[in-house]
Amino acid sequence: MDIDDDLLEAASSILGASTMKETVNRSLEAVVLADRRRRHADRLEAMKGLALDKPKVMSDAWR
């Protein structure tokens, strides 16, 4: 595998990783978590599968 040494060094520094394997694993985890957060934000924005726009649900939420 051909990895850009400058990117690897920068990612290692940002992630606080000490090995190439740790850097790659943390980078992959960061990408997966970022995608998960984006999908959750999209779901909240669209109110898809949520009942937060229903007055009964929201009034009960504050009790």
Total number of domains in the chain: 1
How many CB atoms sit inside 10 A of residue 12's CB? 18
Q: Do 12 and 18 form a contact (C-beta atoms < 8 A)?
A: yes
pLDDT at residue number 63: 59
Tell me which residue range forms the domain holding 10: 5-61
Q: Which whole number is the average pLDDT over 43-61?
A: 77
| Residue 30 reports pLDDT greater than 70 | yes
Buried b / exposed e over 19-28, threshold 16 CB at 10 Å, is eeeebbebbe
Q: What is the mean pLDDT of residues 7-20?
A: 97
Answer whether residue 62 shows pLDDT above 80.
no
Please give the pLDDT value at position 19. 97
